[in-house]
Amino acid sequence: MRINVKIKAIFIIIYILGLIFVTSDTSLCNITEADSKVEKQYLYGDDYEKYSGEKILLSNQHSNISGLFGNLKLTSIIIQPTTDFIINQIDHKGLYDTFRSSKQWVFKNATLEEIQLLFRSAGLDNGKCNQLLLNTSVASNGKEYITTPGDSFFWNLAPEIRAKLYPMIGNYSDNPMYSQPLYFESDTAEEWFYNSGLTNEVKDKLISLTYVANGISYISDVHLILPYLSESERIKFLKIAYRTKSMDIMLQINEGQNVSDIAKYWGSLGRISNIESILDELSNKPGGGEINIDELLPSIPQKRVNTYCGAYEYETDYKDCHWTTINFFNNSADERYYDLPDLTIFINEISKPLKRDSQLKFGDIICIFDKNNELIHSCIYIADNLTYTKNGMGNLNPFVISYLDKTISIYGEKSVYLSRTIANTLSAKL
């Protein structure tokens, strides 16, 4: 018995020492890679049990914008999941099974004539259409057609044809890699695979499978890449596959600058005095100073921006774009909307439509609707063309700062702008 107690005591001491080691380094760690000389930072979440994400600087160049929000310096970054986080998610999500589904197309409740018309409207010539039809057969349940194009067809498909054909295939719900392809908010695949660690052969193959639509790069045919990857390379590929582009944004304050108007912009809905005291401190410094806008955000987005959900947060895996929007100004998270019969009604409780001549301001809600007028995405307006958003449900979609026009391109047919009217959604009616 005494031996067991001693063993338990030793484990407790080791555990405590481990905690001391981890918590002694909870700031962002700068790690320079000798080959690429790219700054990489490991990102902690608020209560993460593991490192979940890492930040990569795309370049040392930046752009500047000015307005009521002040002078902002924008630097493009990549947010990608860590190796440990990816391994955890593979076990949970069954990612490879989804990727392999791209080798065939399922057309439920469609006729052969409709399928042929789809192929032709994408710009395929007679030879390719006939080839596809020869590889199309009725499923065993008799309710759908299945097309299995073959690897050579996929490899030889022109990017512009993919860009037309794949969204139409994605309109059929049983084609997940076409309705929800991998994507990166850039019109150059080279930027997507920057500093990836993959071999040149694999990168070239990935680039050949990439297609671009409205300034966004997409890949659907992931099954073609998997055979070329070792187990360690598959982890590298998954890290790149779930990269997201974001920004570091610095607000620049000059020495002696009057910051009251800027504080009113960032401090909407009851936070003006707190923001003004922060900016006054910069204004009073010799030469002025700058501050990351992360520190000007309300408490929940301040902790979340440019991070992933925690490694074990999938047990409450509902943190999507609407969770992000609704909880932007909350001090504690409001989880009630999961059970709402109509999310649009709830959003209308905490906002109102903007007048046609009104300008968006910090904290306003942007709702994006599909062609059936269904709400499919929401995000928060930050400044100029910038939004705070989480593009998808689940752990592999981080909370980021994105361009509004890019977000709309990914999601929708139309957008509606709403002015936030209350600071805390916990006080809104159900």
Burial of 77 (C-beta count, 10 Å sphere; 0-12/13-18/19+):
buried
Cα gap 175→131, rounded to integer Å: 20
Cβ-based neighbours of 153, under 8 Å, separated by 6 or more: 128, 131, 132
Average pLDDT over residues 136-161: 94
* Start-to-end C-alpha separation, the chain: 56
Q: What is the pLDDT of residues 352-382, one digit of tens each?
A: 888 767 889 999 999 998 888 888 899 999 9
Cα gap 60→38, rounded to integer Å: 10
Question: Strands 244-253 and 216-219, how do they pair?
Answer: unpaired
Are 290 and 252 a contacting pair, CB within 8 Å? yes
> φ and ψ at 350, to 5 degrees?
-110, 10
Instruction: State how far the alpha carbon of 141 is from the alpha carbons of 31, 101, 116, 146, 382, in Å.
Output: 54, 18, 21, 11, 50
Residue 364 zone, left/alpha/beta (φ > 0; ψ -120 to 50; rest): beta
The CATH architecture assigned to 300-427 reads Alpha-Beta Complex (3.90)
pLDDT at position 210, please?
Answer: 96
Kindly report the average pLDDT of the chain as a whole number.
Answer: 83
Domain limits, CATH 3.90.1720, in the chain: 300-427
Question: Strands 53-57 and 70-81, how do they pair?
Answer: antiparallel
Q: What is the pLDDT of residues 287-338, one digit of tens each?
A: 999 999 999 999 999 989 998 887 566 555 568 899 899 999 998 888 776 6
pLDDT at position 123, please?
Answer: 96
**Position 340 confidence tier, pLDDT thresholds 50, 70, 90:** low
